[in-house]
Amino acid sequence: MKKLILFSCVFITVAVHAQREKAEAYVNTYKELAITEMLRTGVPACITLAQGILESQFGESDLVKSSNNHFGIKCKTEWTGPRVYHDDDEKGECFRVYPSGADSYTDHSNFLKSRAPYAFLFKLDPTDFEGWAKGLKKAGYATSPVYPQQLLKVINDYNLQQYSLLALARLKNGLPVNNTVLVNTTIQAETTPDIQIKKENSEGVKEVKEFIKIEVATTEGPGVDKRKKNNSYPRGTFSINHTKVIYGSEGTSLLSLANQYDITLSKLLAFNDLAEMDVLDIDRLIFIERKQKKGSTDYHTVAIGETLHDISQQEGIRLESLLEYNNFKKGANALAGEKIYLKAVTPAVMAKPARSSK
């Protein structure tokens, strides 16, 4: 009996590990698409990834293999493209066929954005993934009575909320999206829920797109004050990589934060890999627990202007671990577009020369 129990435990552990590996591989493949679609349409990246994982069975379902359809979107009357037939709620139902997974992600966002039953979802805070999960069921996206719970479990198990936060941070900082750069930001009115973002494409043609509900700091040229608004992160305590964190505003006393969360100032500085300072010099993520030794995914692709410290905070991983995994020395610089490993990898896979701060 003991051997049987031990065998069962080992089998379950192996199965869980294999499932996590599948999820991480899926997320690494599609996270940038999910982030891009969030910036384009407002569908939270964590919701898109969770639905993709759930609906496509980590990208391994028969429907995905035959149609690149990651979200189980059926043909509907307006669909004029290729189609495939699968048994679902009924036998032989019609599903859309896409040239690639990227096309499936784009159509998924368009599907939600263009249909009236889902309109109320876009009035939610972009970080309210629980509201989105329950709202999708309410709007009729899925017939399973436990669909919201399934989505929430996937989001929490694989820490997918971080990709929604990353999308919001990119929007705030005007970083490149789909080979375009956000060159100007205007807020319609302090009480208006929507924002118009001007962007310039590679041909120099200016477009105006409606983006997600969020207020950001703006500058309209020399001599104009920056207006700091809601900074794209949730208020109060939230979690990155299973570690508690807050978003502190410039000028906030670090000692007061330490006292508020019942930790010493030295620990607060150590948790965040910060040198001695009395008040926050800029708006920052501030961890109130020690960060994890490894990230929730295998690697992070460096965005323009990101430092290794930025990445360690965004991913909730200790800076010393980040340096170790990537064979970097203290003070080294990250290069835009470079993959920064968040977990230990074999030397053959990494193949990175040691990099100093020079």
More confident residue, 44 or 196: 44
Does residue 204 carry a pLDDT above 70?
Answer: no
Q: Torsion-angle region of residue 290: left (phi > 0), alpha (psi -120 to 50) or beta?
A: beta
* Cβ neighbours, 10 Å, residue 108: 26
* Burial track 290-301 (b if 16+ CB lie within 10 A, e otherwise): ebbebbbbbbbe
Q: How do residues 321-353 score in pLDDT, each as one tens digit?
A: 999 999 988 888 878 788 899 998 755 444 454
More confident residue, 252 or 213: 252
3-class SS of residue 289 = coil
How deeply is 204 buried, as exposed, middle or buried, from its count of CB atoms within 10 A (0-12, 13-18, 19+)?
A: exposed
* Residue 110 confidence (pLDDT): 93
Structure tokens at 126: 């972009």
Contact 150, 144 (CB under 8 A): yes
More confident residue, 212 or 297: 297
Please report which confidence band the pLDDT of residue 356 belongs to, taking 50, 70 and 90 as the band edges.
very low
* Residue 10 confidence (pLDDT): 45
Kind plus residue range of the DSSP H or E element containing 340: strand 339-341
Asked: is 299-350 a CATH 3.10.350.10 domain? The reply is: yes
* Burial track 305-324 (b if 16+ CB lie within 10 A, e otherwise): ebebebbbbbbbbbbebbbe
Residue type, 46: C
Indicate the pTM of the whole model.
Answer: 0.52
Does residue 212 carry a pLDDT above 80?
Answer: no
Asked whether the domain spanning 299-350 has the same topology as the one spanning 238-287, the reply is: yes
Q: CA nearest 31: which of 65, 59, 64?
A: 59
Match 């493949």 to its residue by tokens: 29
Q: What share of the chain is helix, strand, coil (3-state, %, to 5)?
A: 40, 15, 45
Structure tokens at 67: 């149609």
* Residue 151 confidence (pLDDT): 95
Q: How do residues 163-175 score in pLDDT, each as one tens digit?
A: 999 888 887 776 5
Give me the mean pLDDT over the 306-316 stretch.
Answer: 92
Please report which confidence band the pLDDT of residue 278 belongs to, taking 50, 70 and 90 as the band edges.
confident
No. of helices (H) and no. of strands (E), the chain: 12, 10
Contact 27, 51 (CB under 8 A): no
* Residue 213 confidence (pLDDT): 35
* Cβ neighbours, 10 Å, residue 100: 9
206-211/195-200 β-pairing: antiparallel
DSSP letters of 70-120? SS--B-TTT--S-EEEE-SSSTTEEEE--SSHHHHHHHHHHHHHH-GGGGG
Highest mean pLDDT among 65-74, 206-215, 247-256, 329-338: 65-74
Q: How far apart are CA 85 and CA 13, in angstroms?
A: 36
Cross-strand pairs, 355: 328
Does residue 215 carry a pLDDT above 60?
Answer: no
**Domain edges within the chain:** 2-167, 238-287, 299-350
More confident residue, 141 or 209: 141
Ordered strands of the 243-248 beta sheet: 238-240, 243-248, 284-287
Architecture of domain 238-287: Roll (3.10)
* Burial track 242-264 (b if 16+ CB lie within 10 A, e otherwise): ebebbbbeeeeebeebbeeeeee
Angle, CA of 349, 352 and 353, to the nearest 5°? 150
What is 2-167's CATH topology?
A: Lysozyme (1.10.530)
Half-sphere exposure of 3 (CA within 13 A, CB side): 0
* Residue 68 confidence (pLDDT): 95
